[in-house]
Structures are given as structure tokens and as C-alpha cells.
Amino acid sequence: MIIFRDVSKIYHIGDTEVRALDHANMHIRKGEFVSIIGPSGSGKSTLMNIVGCLDQASEGTYLLDGQAIEDYSNRELAKIRNRKIGFIFQDFNLLPKLTAYENVELPLIYQRMGKKGRQERVEEALNRVGLWDRRKHRPTELSGGQQQRVAIARALATHPSLFLADEPTGNLDQKTGRELMDIFHELHESGNTIVLITHDAHIAAEASRSIKILDGHVTDVNDASEITEVV
Amino acid sequence: MIGQSFKMAWASVISNKMRSFLTMLGIIIGVIALVVLVSIANGATSSVTDAISSIGTNLLSVTITDDKENPLRLSEMDEVLDLDHIAMAAPTAQTSLTASKGENSESAQITGTTADYLSIEGLNLASGRWIRSSDVENNTNVVVINGDLAADVLGVRNTEQAIGQTISLNGNHYTVIGVLADDETISMSFSSYEAYVPYTSLIRIASSVSSGITSFVCASASDDEIDAAESTLKAWLLKRFDNDDDAFEITNMSTIADTLDSVVNTMTIMLGGIAAISLLVGGIGIMNIMLVSVTERTKEIGIRKAIGAGEGSIMLQFLIEALVLSLLGCLLGVAGSWLILRLIYLISDFNFPMDPGVVVVATAFSLIIGLLFGLYPARKAARKEPIDALHYAG
């Protein structure tokens, strides 16, 4: 599903070379629920950007669904993001002027799906997160938890290969965060691949497997005590 | 996709009404300037050219400035008539006299002329008849007056009643034989009181008019022959006045019409050009606001890109937004122009119809401006890197 082979991301700040990712190797299989954990500045965001095809690796190979993501044009990357990846961000990133329905519909519009097909998908996705009756509300009229559920519905609607969640509970209180994690577990149980990036040890421990990242180095976490060590 | 982009663009224009209106204002004013100015210029042109063509474009008028001690005689008019291409000729002498009847008295412009004058100048009679050759030969005291004179001096509204009445010109009694129809086009003369008497008759009552003809008008048989008629007339006049081409002046009505036409056309183009510049400025206003809008919406662009919008979709969205602004501005401008032209009609009674041609030009221009000035901001939006845009803290 996701294979990283010696992936590096190098930034040049003035004359100094910064390796945000240093020969990272990782393998995530289809249907897995994996958490990626690391303190801030560890290269988490870089990793997430590369996995999410928002950015490209400087070195190494990244295979997504057996397809090497390198030297792609911006147009092709946009297409991969649109069809294969469902993003869930810490600050929800819903479009404030669109209703819940329209927000969920947007990626389908970019897929050029017909109106009828879109309607079915949006209804299915919003029902899944239990917000169909709120479809006409704008993000500002929804609570944080509801907004994040709309964001999940938006990711769900395209039937992506991978759900990529970046600190999804970071802006939510504990109770709402809990509800959200339940949705992730449900998604996992119904066969979806989920990659969850977090610095919260409790959240990370809920995944079936954890990968830690520290100073650009990626390693597998074998037992739960290691998670707390990282953060 | 275009339908969706249009929906998005419309939503964005609507969500910020005040700003959208101010952005469009440049285009609105530009379009109003273009449409109103060109419509007025075209309206004015057609009323002036109507006035000229009612006189006729087969008209030549001659003024003799130096008679070489041998003034042109009335009998020589027949020689002019015999020239090739010339169908009609009539001498003219003008003076201002007091026309009176009883208590009523007005200063009127009196023209002394002959029978051909009516057709050469394209005048129409409301009632009665025009001066005949016999009137000229016998110095008859007959007069053809215009409607204003009939109404204000004779005090008759019905032109028929004026026929046969006597009117006094500087104390000389004249019998009214005809009344001219009111001219629908803008009058070329300053006085609204006009009267026409036989040329020979005017010589007797006006000291400023002598038997020597100082000006006359002639008409070619058709409009096409006007230039040929001018050259034969010139040759004849040169022979008559010792080959001195400063002794006389020939005015060709069709040349005047052409000149006037080109002057008015130049003016229309100039006015249109100035208005087009204001449209251009309006376009720059659109670009300015679009650039601000692109920066403001960096985050939105980032989100759209993250969920899979390609560069093409983002570009289309912003381009269509610029087009919606410019075309909506154009639409409001055309509506405003229509209102202003109606208002001018209601206030001043000048009816300047909205020129459909200039509306098409204004629309095409707005479209091009929207495209041109929307392209750069749209490209800027489309080229934003998704990560940078997503993390933009605007």
C-alpha cells in the first residue's frame, strides 16, 4: 500500500542543508491502522506532506498502491490527492462559505462526477458520520467535533485508498476527540487504511501499529512504552 | 466544470457585494461613458447629415468676391444653365428687413431669388405657390413666407389663410403667394423669420442689393455629376473673371457633407477612445481586487488543492470570477446608459437612440478586459504550492 524506500527530503536554508527526512523506510499495508508519532520538529509534517502527495521526496522511492510517486506533474499529483487520499486536518480546513453538503461534494466536483452520483456519495458519507440532517449548515454553525466529522465525510466521499489524518483531535476536547477516534475505529473495521499522525501518546496507542519519527529518522515502535518515550 | 466554476465565482461575487460593486464601478463608468458618448455623437451626426441631405448633395453655391468692374447680370444665369451637368441655377441676395402687418412687426431675413431656388434648396411649400419666372421679369411684389412669419406677423395659424394677404417689407406692400412648410431638421439659419421675393423686386427695396449678382446657387442633374458640374462651372467663372480664381468661391455641398462626416467620425472615435481608456482603468481595478482576493483566499486555494483541485480548476474559477465581474459591470453599465439616454430625452427632448453597435463593442471590450486582467491573478492562484497555501495564516 505505502512503501518508503530510502526517502529523504532535503531543504536548503541558506548554505546549510537540512534533512527533514533522512533515508526513511516504512511499509504500511492495506487495511492497516497506523499511527505516526513524533515530537514537533521531528519531520512529521514533511512525512505527511510526502505521503499525502502535497510534496515530493528529494531522494528515494515512494510507492502508493504500487505506483511510484516521483517526477509527477502538478496535475497528476492533484489527481492522486483527489482520488486516492482522504485528508483530515487538525484545523478541519472546511471552506467557510460552503455548507456541509457542498464541502463534502467539492472533491467529487473536481472528479467531474455527475450530479446524481455526487448526491449519492455525499448522502452516504454524511450519514456515515451522522450529520445528514446538518447538511445545510455552514462550518461556523457547527461545533468543532461536527466540523471534523464533516471533514471526515469529505474524505470518505471519494472512497480513497488511504485516510491521512494529521492531529485530527488536536483542536477538540477529550470527549469529542473520543467520539472521533470511534469513527476512525469504525472506518478501520470496515476495511479502510488509516494513517494517523499525532504527538498524543494515548491516541497513538489506539492504532494497531505505531511508527515513530525523530529527527527525520523513521523506526517501528514495538511496545507501547516506547510511545511515551518518544513524546 | 465550467458550470461549477461559474457557480463558485457567482457565490464569491455575491458574498462580498460592496467590494464587488466597487470593483465593477470602473467597468460600469467606462461602459456608460462609451455607450452614452458614442450614442449621442451618432445621434448628433445623423441629425446634421439629415439636415445636409435635405438641402441636397447636388448643390453648388458660388460667391463672387471681386466682380472686376463687370458684375454678373441676371441674364447671365441662362449661360450658367446652359453649362454641362448643371440643371438649375438661381441667384441669391440676402438682407434683413422689417416685416410688418398692422401692429405686428418683426425683423426678417429676406432672400431675393428666382424660380429654381425652391428645388435647388429642397424647400417645401405648405400652401400657395413659389416665385415664377414671370414674377422675376415683371418685378412683381410677391412674397413667399415661412410659417413663423405667417403666425407672428399675419397672425394666422392656417397657412391657407395667409395666401393673398398683404405684408409690408420696409414699408413696401407685398402679396403673400406661398407659405413654406416647417423644416423638421435643425434650421441652418439664425433668424426664424424668413421670406423670399423675386430677385428683381429685392433690388428696388433694399439698398444693399444691386443688379450685379454676388452669389448664386446651382444644382447638378444628379448627385453623381456634382464634381463634373463644379469643374465646368469653375471653367466658366474663370473665363468670365479674367482667369482670377480669387475672384469667386465655389462651395460644394457634398464636400461639406463629407468633411462634416469625417469630422464627426473623428470625434466619435476620439470620444470612444477616451471612454475605452476608462474601461481599461476599470480592468486594472478588477486585476487589483482579484490579486487581493487571491492572497486573501490563499488558504481556500490550499484546501481546494489538497482535496484534488488541479491548476486548471483553480485558474478557471478565478478567471470566471474576473469575467463575471467585468460582464456584470458591463450589463449594469448598459442599463445605466439606457437610463441616462432616456433621461436626456425626457429633459431635453433630444432622442439619442442607444447604438446597438457600440453595445456590442462595449460587451466585447469588457469580455476581453475581464480575460486579460483576470489571467494574471488566476495564474497566480493556480500556481500556489498546496503546502504553502494550506499553512498560510492569513
Q: Residue A40 maps to which CATH number?
A: 3.40.50.300
Cβ-Cβ contacts under 8 Å for B144 (sequence gap 6 or more): B125, B128, B130, B131, B176, B177, B178, B179, B180, B195, B196, B197
d(CA B148, CA B145): 8
Q: Is residue B251 part of a domain?
A: no
Q: What is the signed CA dihedral for A17, A19, A20, A23, rounded to 10 degrees? A: 160
Residue A118 lies in a domain: yes
- Judging contacts by C-beta atoms under 8 Å, the chain A residues touching residue B311 are 74-75, 78
Residues B86 and B152 placed together within one structural domain of the fold: yes
Judge whether A129 lies within some domain: yes
Residues of chain B contacting residue A95, judged by C-beta atoms under 8 Å apart: 300, 303-304
List chain B residues with CB under 8 Å of A154.
Answer: 307
B112, B161, B106, B118: which is closest to B141 by C-alpha? B112
- State the DSSP code for B329: H
Going by C-alpha positions, the residue among B217, B49, B216 that lies closest to residue B120 is B217
Full residue range of the structural domain in which residue B242 is found: 66-246
Out of B300, B309, B387, closest to residue A54 by CB: B387
Distance, CA of B21 to CA of B17 (rounded, Å): 6
In the structure, how many helices (H) and strands (E) does chain A have?
A: 8, 10
A21 found inside a domain: no
Domain boundary among B246, B281, B313: B246
Instruction: Tell me the Ramachandran region of residue A112: left when phi exceeds 0, alpha when psi lies from -120 to 50, beta otherwise.
Output: left
- Is B289 part of any domain? yes
Q: Which residue has the cell 451522522?
A: A130
| 3 state SS of A161 | coil
Chain A's closest residue to B299, CA to CA, is A93
Q: Tell whether B15 lies on the interface with A, counting CB pairs under 8 A.
A: yes
CA distances in angstroms from A60 to A5, A46, A49, A70, B381, listed in the order given: 6, 14, 15, 9, 30
Q: Is residue A12 part of a domain?
A: no
B336/B218 same-domain check: no
A79 to B307: CB separation less than 8 angstroms, yes or no: no
The parent domain of residue A134 ranges over: 31-56+73-230
Q: Tally C-beta pairs within 8 A across A and B.
A: 60
CA A218/CA B143 separation, integer angstroms: 116
Instruction: Give the pairing type, strands B248-252 and B172-180.
Output: unpaired
Q: Is B211 found in the same domain as B77?
A: yes
Question: Within this chain, do residues B277 and B373 fall inside the same structural domain, yes or no?
Answer: yes
The whole-angstrom separation of Cα A188 and Cα A171 is 22
Chain B residues within an 8 Å CB radius of A79: 308, 310
Please check whether residues B313 and B343 belong to one and the same domain.
yes
C-beta separation of A212 from A39 below 8 A: no
Could you say which of B197, B223, B246 is where a domain stops? B246
Q: Does B59 reside within a domain? A: no
Q: What does the block give as the cell for B386?
A: 498546496
Give mean pLDDT in consecutive 10-residue pieces for chain A, a chain of 231 residues: 90 87 91 90 86 89 87 86 92 91 94 92 94 94 93 94 90 89 92 90 89 88 66 56
Q: In this structure, are B47 and B71 located in the same domain?
A: no
Question: Is A174 a domain residue?
Answer: yes
Other Cβ atoms closer than 10 A to B260: 15
| Residues B371 and B323: beta-carbon distance below 8 Å | yes
Number of domains within chain A: 1
Q: What are the beta bridge partners of residue A162?
A: A85, A193
Would the CA dihedral through A64, A68, A74, A75 be positive or negative? negative
Length of chain B: 394
For residues B177 and B223, membership in a common domain is answered with yes
Count other C-beta atoms under 10 Å from residue B22's C-beta.
Answer: 12
Distance CA A183, CA A178 (A): 9
Across the 394 residues of chain B, what is the mean pLDDT of every consecutive 10-residue run?
82 88 92 90 79 75 85 86 88 90 88 90 87 89 89 85 90 91 56 86 84 88 84 89 87 81 85 87 90 91 91 91 93 95 87 88 92 93 87 68
Give A-chain residues touching B306 at CB under 8 angstroms. Answer: 52, 54, 81, 87, 89, 93
Residue B175 lies in a domain: yes
Nearest to A78 among B12, B15, B310 (CB): B310
- Closest partner residue to B306 (CB to CB) among A54, A79, A112 is A54
Is A8 within a domain? Answer: no
Residues B172 and B127 in one domain: yes
Among the partner residues A93, A94, A110, nearest to B308 by beta-carbon distance: A110
Contact list, B4 vs chain A (CB under 8 Å): 109
pLDDT for position A101: 95
Q: Which three cell numbers stand for residue B82?
A: 446652359
Do residues B38 and B147 share a domain?
Answer: no
Residues of B in contact with A93 (CB under 8 A): 299, 302-303, 306, 390
Average model confidence (pLDDT) across chain A: 89
User: Best interface-test mutation with A: which of B4, B15, B307 has the largest number of A CBs within 10 A?
Assistant: B307
**Quick one: which of A148, A159, A143, A158 has its CA closest to A182?**
A148
DSSP B7-62: HHHHHHHHHTHHHHHHHHHHHHHHHHHHHHHHHHHHHHHHHHHHHHHHH-TTEEEE
CA of A222 to nearest chain B CA: how many angstroms apart? 32
Q: Quote the CA–CA distance of A206 and A83 in Å, as a whole number.
A: 27
- Is B71 in contact with B210 (CB distance < 8 Å)? yes
Q: Let me know if residue B254 belongs to a domain.
A: no
> If you search the block for the grid coordinates 453595445, which residue do you land on?
B359
Furthest C-alpha separation in chain B: 104
Q: Tell me how long chain A is.
A: 231
Q: CB of A72 within 8 Å of any CB in chain B?
A: no
How far apart CA A144 and CA A5 sit, in angstroms, is 37
The H-assigned helical ranges of B56-184 are 77-82, 117-121, 133-137, 147-149, 159-162
pLDDT for the residue B139: 87
Q: 170-229 in A: which are within 8 Å (CB) of B?
A: none
Contact criterion met (CB below 8 Å) for A188 and A194:
yes
Flag whether B14 is in a domain: yes
Q: Could you report the predicted ipTM of this complex, rounded to two decimals? A: 0.91
Q: Where are the beta strands (DSSP E) in B92-147?
A: 93-101, 104-113, 125-128, 142-145
Joined together, the cell numbers standing for residue A98 give: 460552503
Residues B36 and B151 in one domain: no
Domain-embedded: residue A190: yes
Please judge whether B387 and A81 are an interchain contact, meaning their C-beta atoms are less than 8 angstroms apart: no
Q: Rounded to 5 degrees, what angle do the CA atoms B160, B162, B167 make?
A: 165
Residues B103 and B223 in one domain: yes
- Cross-strand pairs, B166: B175
Single out the residue in B246, B271, B306 at which a domain terminates: B246
Is B253 domain-assigned? no
Helical H segments across chain A, by residue range: 44-51, 74-84, 100-110, 115-128, 144-157, 174-189, 201-205, 224-230
Separation between Cα atoms, residue B65 and residue B232, nearest integer Å: 19
Nearest CA to A192 out of A156, A150, A167 is that of A156
Counting Cβ atoms within 10 Å, is residue A94 exposed (0-12), middle (13-18) or buried (19+)?
Answer: buried
User: By the CB < 8 Å criterion, does A107 face chain B?
Assistant: yes
- Per-residue model confidence (pLDDT) at position A40: 81
Residue B252 inside a domain? The answer is no
The domain total for chain B is 2
Do residues B130 and B221 share a domain? yes
pLDDT the model gives residue A226: 67
Instruction: Count other C-beta atoms under 10 Å from residue B26's C-beta.
Output: 25
In B274-313, the residues whose Cβ lies within 8 Å of chain A are 299-300, 302-313
Cβ(A6)–Cβ(A59) under 8 Å?
A: yes
